[in-house]
Amino acid sequence: MNLLNDGVLVSPVTMRAIDDTPRPKMTDRYAVIGNPISHSKSPLIHALFATQTGQDIAYEAIEAPLDGFFDTIIRLHCAGYKGCNVTVPFKFDAYESASELSERALSAQAVNTLKFSEDGIAGDNTDGAGLVRDIEQNCGVQLRGKRVLLMGAGGASCGVVLPLLTAGATLTIANRTAQKAVDLADKFLEFRIRGGSYDELAGAQFDVIINATSAGLTDSEVPLPAGIFAANALAYDMMYGRETPFMKFAREQGATVADGLGMLVEQAAEAFYIWRGVRPLTAPVITQFRL
């Protein structure tokens, strides 16, 4: 659906003041859109990328009303913004708003990066690429041939399945509601993948276990059996900024533990590359956030 061309949502918008006055200096403008958004680290990450690469951009955080995502996108496009990142709860709305979708966006059925041009709105999803890059480049674990367990079958999982598979992982998806894991795995039958319940994991071992559930938000345990980590395994939690029960369990089981900060920076770097054609160094930015 191309909202700019099909005239679905072109009424004037008043819910938020977006600076749409023409500017003589051609600083390219970008934004991250979410609700809530005040916590977002994206403006700082992109400011650091811009300084590092000498790119002349401005990047701001915009809180769109829960029913106002499409209006916000149209306003930004019309005001000359070059693109935006999209976060919770608008990634599916962003998917719907794009006139063109990348393969990874189609696979995820969610979009976190929009690029605006005269031709329309291109939608992409950089979450999976960010995860794979963080695991391989920053954690030093190559995924090809590895037994990977992905916990969860919600939005966070959907975005990373195809990139994990194309990186060569043999993937198992486990979910509290087992049928959702089965259904997600069934979309990728040409790959080595299976989906099911946590109970079915008894006796299995994995080289990499990724927590893509929201259980950590409520400090809930995830139902993993002892002994599930293979020797030298990596436990990766997409959350950052707190020790989740999954991280604690993984440490007790002898796994190496990583949080999702690297993924956050890597998915931003991938978006920056889509917009600017320049790939920033991520290590200094990750280091700065860890200080």
Q: Which residues bind ligand ATR (CB under 6 A)?
A: 152-156, 175-177, 180, 213-215, 220, 222
Q: How far is the CB of 215 from ligand ATR (least distance, A)?
A: 4
Q: What are phi and psi of 152, to 5 degrees?
A: 110, 150
> Which lies closer to ligand ATR via its Cβ, residue 83 or residue 152?
152
| Residue in 82, 91, 115, 146 annotated catalytic | 91
Q: How far is the CB of 254 from ligand ATR (least distance, A)?
A: 22
> Which lies closer to ligand ATR via its Cβ, residue 83 or residue 260?
260
> Which lies closer to ligand ATR via its Cβ, residue 136 or residue 183?
183
Q: Which residues contact 31 (CB under 8 A, 6 or more apart)?
A: 59, 60, 61, 62, 76, 81, 84, 85
Q: How far is the CB of 99 from ligand ATR (least distance, A)?
A: 24
Indicate the angle between helix axes 283-290 and 261-276, nearest 10 degrees. Answer: 140
Rounded distance between C-alpha atoms, residue 128 and residue 210, angstroms: 12
The one-character DSSP state at 51 is H
Q: How far is the CB of 209 from ligand ATR (least distance, A)?
A: 13
| Contact assessment for residue 209 and residue 224, using Cβ atoms and an 8 Å cutoff | yes
> Which lies closer to ligand ATR via its Cβ, residue 135 or residue 153?
153
- Other beta carbons less than 10 A from residue 219's beta carbon: 11
The one-character DSSP state at 107 is H
Rounded distance between C-alpha atoms, residue 269 and residue 49, angstroms: 8
Q: How far is the CB of 179 from ligand ATR (least distance, A)?
A: 9
Residue 18: closest CA among 45, 58, 67? 58
Which pairs count as long-range contacts for 237-240, CB under 8 Å and 24+ apart, including other chains? 237/210, 237/211, 238/131, 238/156, 238/210, 238/211, 238/212, 238/263, 239/211, 240/264
> Which lies closer to ligand ATR via its Cβ, residue 222 or residue 268?
222
> Which lies closer to ligand ATR via its Cβ, residue 35 or residue 99?
35
Q: How far is CA 185 from CA 145, 175, 204, 205, 282, in A?
A: 18, 11, 18, 19, 31
Q: Check if 91 is active-site.
A: yes
Q: How far is the CB of 217 from ligand ATR (least distance, A)?
A: 8
Residue nearest to ligand ATR (CB): 154
Positions marked catalytic: 91
